[in-house]
A and B are shown apart, each in its own frame.
Chain A
Amino acid sequence: MLRINDLHVYYGAIYAVRGVTLEVGPSEIVTLIGSNGAGKSTILRTISGLQRPRSGSITLNGTELTRMEPDAIVRAGVCQVPEGRHVFANLTVRENLELGGYTLARPSDRQEAIERVLERFPRLRERLKQYAGTLSGGEQQMLAIGRALMARPRVLLLDEPSLGLAPQLVHDIFAIIREINQQGTAVLLVEQNAHMALGIAARGYVLETGSVVLADAAHNLLNNPEVRRAYLGE
């Protein structure tokens, strides 16, 4: 479904992504793990068109996304929940959701999508008129995910959704990610919390200084002594 082939990206002068090839199948959860600065976020930014690759290609069901503008990539069906959530703090929760549905043509579609998101995140319903900046961290993460779901993506990119959240909330967020996936959305999950990520993913890629050093089924990675030592703190 989403296919990345021999991607090379420079982040300013830094050679951040060095020939990465990876794939996310339909309704699959795939995780990218690796330490800080390994190039995980750069890959997601490049998929969404925020960063231009030096070379390589990104395709969705054969459609080339590589040179598309970010808005066209959203319309093609790839949405991202960026690291640090990036909700529009000065806008209300409802306005944030409406922006998530910016590519939906009709207001009635938008309304329907909001209802769908509120069913998944009932907490947001009570907060619709509040400014997003007044929400707690967990609620902001739910808003960021709900906002990305508004456009009904075929592939959801999640960048560090557990960052800065209490363990119980991390648990909830991962349960929600699994649920979203079970309803047919493919997920590419970037995480520092390798244990949680490998727990819900079907497959994983381990990234080191911009290159994929390991690619395997998630349960194999969980049992891999190298991975356990480097990323699972054992």
Chain B
Amino acid sequence: MQEFLQQLVNGLVWGSAYALIALGYTMVYGILRLINFAHGDVYMMGAYSALFISGWLTAAGAPVAHSPVWAMVAMLGAMAAAGLLGFFIERLAYRPLRTAPRLTLLITAIGVSLFLQNIAQLAFGSEPRSFPELIASSTILQVGSVTLSNQQAIIIAVSVILALALQVIVHRTSIGRAMRAVSYDREAAALMGISVNRVISFTFVLGSALAAAAATLIALNNPLVTPTMGVQPGLKAFVAAVLGGIGNIYGAMAGGLVMGVAEVMIVGYGSSGYRDGIVFAILIIVLLVRPTGLFGSPVTERA
């Protein structure tokens, strides 16, 4: 039982990071009906940004490893950098195709994904790079043999705070209302005087920043950074978004948590060889049994 609880805790930790990435998929899908396959690579670029920022901070003499404040600075910096990247991806790659068939957009997204991976390889090399220790690990909570490390606590706490902040933006602000309007009916939203392009840009910035936050959080635990590191978490977060019902924000969060727990459980009780396989098993089951996902409403194609 205690082992199960420990696995559950570990799963929720991973899951909350997946949830942050899944939010970006689901928001962009909600607005553009596009599966942004480059999202995992934005996550990767977010990890490199956090890595370089921590490097610069260390070089400048900031005691990065010993103060969570500096880890926070690195995370915010990475969020800003990834937000900018998301803005330019939309502006340069997707916006010119606004009226093109959706398949064109999807193929472009795959192209952007490969482009980012190769740019990263060119610029940063294919050798894995390692983060400095951002926050020294220690156990802050122990119940029986179930432990929660400070890193795990931070990952969960920051994810929850960011998810709540997103809720506030989407449901309590004018731009959030505009996002929901554009997602529901783009033309009617334009007739309200909403700049649809600006809302789409904002959505990409928001989703990309959340991916970079996830990247920094995961780096607390998994310090290795490579140009292809975004592929697996990207796919898993995508499946999480589908599981929750793509386009649905609560669904993405729930889906992310389920994915994290499923992955950790399969490694704990099955075999680590199935770690990535479980993701696709879940995807296939969802698509067969409930294609609209846990929280999704039946999809009606608009004419």
Chain B residues with Cβ under 8 A from A87's Cβ?
188
Q: Which of A76-108 contact B (CB under 8 A)?
A: 79-80, 82, 86-91, 95, 98-100, 102-103
CB distance from B212 to the nearest CB of A (A): 29
Stretch of B46-54, B81-89, B172-180, B260-268 at the chain-chain interface:
B172-180
Q: Which of B181-230 contact A (CB under 8 A)?
A: 181, 184-185, 187-197
Closest A residue to B185 by beta carbon equals A86
* Number of A positions contacting B (CB below 8 A): 26
**Dominant SS at the B interface?**
helix
B188 touches A103 (CB 8 A): no
Bound state CA distance, A49 and B178, in angstroms?
A: 18
Partner of B190, one of A71, A90, A91, A147: A71
CB distance from B221 to the nearest CB of A (A): 38
A50 an interface residue at 8 Å Cβ cutoff?
yes
A56 an interface residue at 8 Å Cβ cutoff?
no
Chain A residues with Cβ under 8 A from B188's Cβ?
82, 86-88
A31 an interface residue at 8 Å Cβ cutoff?
no
* A147 and B192 contact, Cβ closer than 8 Å, known pairs A91-B181, A95-B177: yes
Closest B residue to A76 by beta carbon equals B193
* A82 and B184 contact, Cβ closer than 8 Å, known pairs A95-B177, A98-B177, A99-B178: no
Bound state CA distance, A100 and B187, in angstroms?
A: 13
* Number of B positions contacting A (CB below 8 A): 18
Bound state CA distance, A122 and B197, in angstroms?
A: 35
Chain A residues with Cβ under 8 A from B193's Cβ?
70-71, 74-75, 79, 102-103, 151
From B177, B180, B192, name the one whose CB has the most chain A CB atoms within 10 angstroms. B192
CB distance from B114 to the nearest CB of A (A): 33
From B174, B180, B188, B190, name the one whose CB has the most chain A CB atoms within 10 angstroms. B188
CB distance from B65 to the nearest CB of A (A): 45
A50 touches B190 (CB 8 A): yes
Partner of A99, one of B177, B187, B195, B196: B177
From A49, A70, A87, name the one whose CB has the most chain B CB atoms within 10 angstroms. A70
Closest B residue to A99 by beta carbon equals B192
Chain A residues with Cβ under 8 A from B194's Cβ?
71, 99, 102
On B, residues with C-beta under 8 Å from A are 174, 177-178, 180-181, 184-185, 187-197
Give the top 6 A-B pairs by smallest Cβ distance, nearest first: A74-B193, A70-B190, A103-B193, A86-B188, A71-B195, A99-B192
